[in-house]
Amino acid sequence: MAIALSKKVQALKPSASIAAKQRVNELEAQGRKILDFTLGEPDLDTPEAIVEAGVAALRSGDTHYTGSAGKLELRKAICEKLARENGCTYSPDEIVVAVGAKQIIAEALSATLEPGDEVIIPAPYWVSYPDMVRLNGGEPVIVPCPAEDGFLLRADALEASITPKTRWLIINSPSNPSGAVLSEQQWKDIIAVLERHPHVAVMTDEIYEKIVYDGVVNHSPVGIAPSLKDRCLVVNGMSKGYAMTGWRLGYAAGPANLIKAIVKLIGQSTTCTTAFAQTAALAALRGDQTPVAEMVSLYRARRDLVVSMMNDIAGVACAKPAGAFYIFPDVRALIGRKAPNGTTIESDVDLVNYLLEEASVALMDGTSYGMPGFLRISYATGSDTIRAGCTAIAAAVAKLSA
């Protein structure tokens, strides 16, 4: 007899981006060449100095458990980073290191949500937020942030969504999937709303913080309003800015009581983050930042290329993102058209499936991110792949009939 699964796990959906990548892997195992734009992962390797720090740590015996909060020296370096780059003052007991930023988000929700608590999530959103909330007994409250608003949360929309049950507001800036970045004034408007509703905490997912373009600056709300510190969890990590996805290291700064609760949960799950990965992260934070700037410069060139090529496709409208490494083109004009086999493209999901079959291009549908009628395309891949992919998309779209 099979082991019975809990209702909450049965209701849990697989990560849409991971599922899409798995589909790509299956097709490639069948011998098909797929131009893959699904996963949000740098195609670049971790900078050499960081790798060498990790290797040296391994060779020196840095292979044992650490405290569940993370190494003290790393937490000190995170405090230094937050003060230097974000204007936020924290002490090591207000810092936690975990197996990726995703673990911190999940543990923070586990530590704070009671059944029926509401969590405000602006859409488009990272695919995992709503399911993480539901898994921990909460109710996601989705607030649409349309393209006309730059995919950014308006203060009045936030205010209208707050109820006595609201526990958290989760904001991802720079955004996955849109690349939108909240300005300082937009943050001030949001903070003004939060000040009127002191029962609402804010979780800022700043994992793409270092990947911004054209003079844009990412802001942490605590740096703007230090009074918000006692109800703000600042989540960040090494994966995107330092091309360290496989090292699995995230960190967060927040109120000591919440950090202590997250540390307790880590102690009962993963115990701690890999020791040598923590040493490598310390080298990254305190080391030369030139490799980060070079990666961002490369992403900027790729962004400009993919935006230009997608906007050349009739029926596609693509805004230029201010950060991260995704575009989120509007394909609503293509919905309702017919494929060469006579089937109708009735949704962005249908369009993604059509492009996979017709053009061997793998993309993400906007529906998975809470915004139907759009696509997410990761440009954390080579320029040759971008050119080939956009050319194939254009050819497939040209075959659609009204």
pLDDT at 5: 92
Percent of the chain with pLDDT over 70: 100
Alpha-carbon gap, residue 397 to 395, rounded angstroms: 6
Average pLDDT of the residues in 42-50: 96
Percent of the chain with pLDDT over 90: 92
Element (H, E) at 252: strand 250-253
Residue 401 buriedness (CB in 10 A; 0-12 / 13-18 / 19+): exposed
Can you list the domains of the chain with their CATH numbers? 7-45+291-398 (3.90.1150.10), 63-286 (3.40.640.10)
Cβ pair 402, 160 in contact under 8 A: no
Cβ pair 168, 112 in contact under 8 A: yes
Average pLDDT, the chain: 96
pLDDT tops 80 at residue 86: yes
pLDDT at 40: 86
pLDDT tops 90 at residue 135: yes
pLDDT at 390: 98
- Residue 88 DSSP label: -
- Alpha helices, H only, 137-289: 155-161, 184-196, 221-224, 256-267, 275-286
Enter the pTM of the model.
0.95
pLDDT tops 90 at residue 27: no
Alpha-carbon gap, residue 273 to 276, rounded angstroms: 9
